[in-house]
Chains A and B, each alone.
Chain A
């Protein structure tokens, strides 16, 4: 009896603590129901006039004929379209510096580098992104491990969804190194690592033999690579050009890694190899590239998502903040749909698939019973440029409202009249 009380008490305390850590002062209701005009579930068919029941931030029921219990707080969203929040499978923004200038630094973690007050996160939330894997940049051979965060919270701990996720391997040679030298460096690292592990095991065996205690731990600087080889970490292999694809696949096969390919804009040429390897793929932010046809001398538009879609490859989109439309995940999906991709597949590529690639699909990526209630409320169809993200809900809690977005207001509305001094001459 007492212990039960104790647990309940600690649970309440914990909730209070977590809530305060999240830094959101608004009331958190245990039981919620959303009456939506349209629900894009991703998991199944779209629902018109559906209801989502939420308890403790977890979806309890979804459907058109769901009964709403009496003690539930109802959110009216009959003029809105509701869908799972967007997931970004690969970004190096929001970091102080994305790349270390030493080529082999697998022991670094973006967790230590994420800048919570970077406007990048604020913008991402505004654009409907609810989870993102922040990885080191593409300029280091073994760049370090990544962190899955939600773009909401004042400290990295508050933003954290999953630590120690994915390790970046970049096959693009660094300056003053040839492509041969770059690959050689990778092989050298692996063989040195294996030597080290062998010696380590030897020492362990020796200690056991001599019945001495053995408390030496694996070098923390090497730990991530060891975990990578043990498939405890996913390798995010960045391929700069198509010629890197066979190498990435070879690395994947020889070391039996859990691999996701991060592609450069040239890699579409190796689509056959990628399709055959059945590896998950993250497309480059630039979805359309131009290629000169050698014979006709014409400029041909290559639509990268279509090339991969036709080959049956499952992929996730990336964004580029410096670009015009491609800073939005929905715009990326809409571009693919424009050129013939199936709508449902395109929507999955910005929700469920990226969630799967970064290992959070048990919580995010679709609207289904048991998943986290992390949703975006849109004023229209997600692929229409005239639709806005009206609200964002993370785990049952509204964290963004367009109506209260002062920054957006400043960006869109006419400023107050400025007093101009009279010209006297």
Chain B
């Protein structure tokens, strides 16, 4: 059903862009093109047709009917990919009534009119991953969207539904749960988990239930069905972990069940960088910068290293930098700039906000770098992207200018 819906959306989208695209071919004359996938190109041209990159290189003939964007003094790079963004959803992100809600789809709650989308596109983000909240042990399915234009139906923004299953090993699922102390439980907050061990027990039990379900299947259960596809590696698991001990547990669990894992937030990842690298598990770093000594945002993961991203990347871990879904968001270019300040190699930092998240989200065939055939998600910058004084002058999304500064 859902697959069809996506397919339908594509079919709907294609003719729209095709009719519009025939008239306008855009040629971007760029001073410097950071393709990300390959070497930078100086004095190059990008041809955009039908919302896709038709041609990219130095010696390209510009068609006569093309409208030209002159960026010959500028730097051009692919639109940013935010692997964990502030959800454009109203109200509670968490379904509090149960700890295990795998059938929850955050895509069905997206608010196309959300201010978050209008803002994030101005910071250069053209693709973002939205996850359910972190209050449940198994939270539900996340979605990859593009912040396209004025309020449309959410389906038109989605480029990959059921992109990952949110699982939390951090302490968030405990918060709010109560112990029935002297009185009988009066609502559903009197429940497990109230400890770290219970969180992991619940996760294990759910996986066990799913395995049982896979063999018997006596009554259809959409939740367990989704867990089954996660066990069969059809849907990757986005696991929120902060402390090193939890990261180890997660890696062990992944080995036991042969899961396809992506680690989220990973505050103490730098302590176990080699182990993560060895298991070939990618990492999405949330707000990696957190100052010890100031008022704590988290109860756990206080031992922060500013160079978390650099240490992980140098150990060979696939690292994506994200704006941070659940806390004070930051803009991605700033995140990369500070990652470099704190020790991450420059090229890896640039990849960490474009190509790497695209690969982690499984959409690298469409976004993340400037290559022929990919979506025309392009940023035009006034200078080096890793300078605070550099400004985003134009954001092009699917070949259309969606933001411009004057």
Residues of A near any B CB (own CB < 8 A): 119-120, 123, 290, 292, 297-299, 301, 321-325, 327, 331, 334-335, 337-339, 383-386, 388, 411-415, 418, 420, 423
Contacts and interface: CB of A to CB of B under 8 A. Distances in A.
Contact of B388 (A299, A301, A322, A383): A383
A415 B271 CA distance: 7
Contacts of A412: 305-307, 342-343
Contact of B389 (A324, A327, A337, A415): A337
Contact of A324 (B287, B305, B343, B391): B287
A413 B307 contact: yes
B302 to A, nearest CB: 13
B119 A325 contact: no
Contact of A321 (B248, B291, B341, B342): B291
Question: For the complex, would chain A's binding face be called helix, strand, loop or mixed by DSSP majority?
Answer: loop
B295 interface: yes
Instruction: Select the residue from B271, B328, B388, B390 with max chain A CB neighbours within 10 A.
Output: B388
Interface string B136-179: 00000000000000100000000000000000000000000000
- 8 tightest Cβ-Cβ pairs between the two chains A and B: A334-B388, A299-B118, A119-B293, A324-B330, A385-B337, A411-B306, A338-B389, A412-B307
Contacts of B270: 414-415
Query: What's the interface size class on B, roughly?
Result: 35 or more
Contacts of B387: 384-385
B122 A338 contact: no
Contact of B119 (A290, A334, A385, A418): A290
A385 B270 CA distance: 22
Contacts, number: 83
Contacts of A327: 291
A412 B306 CA distance: 6
Given A299-B119, A321-B294, A413-B307, A386 B341 contact: yes
B118 A385 contact: no
Interface of B: 115, 118-119, 122, 150, 244, 248, 252, 270-271, 273, 287, 289, 291-295, 304-307, 311, 328, 330, 334-335, 337-338, 340-343, 386-391
Contacts of A322: 294-295, 328
B389 A334 contact: yes
B391 A385 contact: no
Nearest to B248: A420
Nearest to A321: B294
Given A290-B119, A298-B118, A325-B388, A385 B295 contact: no
Given A324-B289, A324-B334, A334-B389, A299 B305 contact: no
Nearest to B306: A411
A321 B343 CA distance: 21
B388 A338 contact: yes
A384 B388 CA distance: 6
A119 B294 CA distance: 8
A301 B293 contact: no
Given A323-B328, A415-B305, 13 more contacts: A120-B293, A301-B122, A322-B295, A324-B289, A337-B389, A338-B389, A338-B391, A386-B340, A388-B341, A411-B304, A414-B311, A415-B270, A418-B244
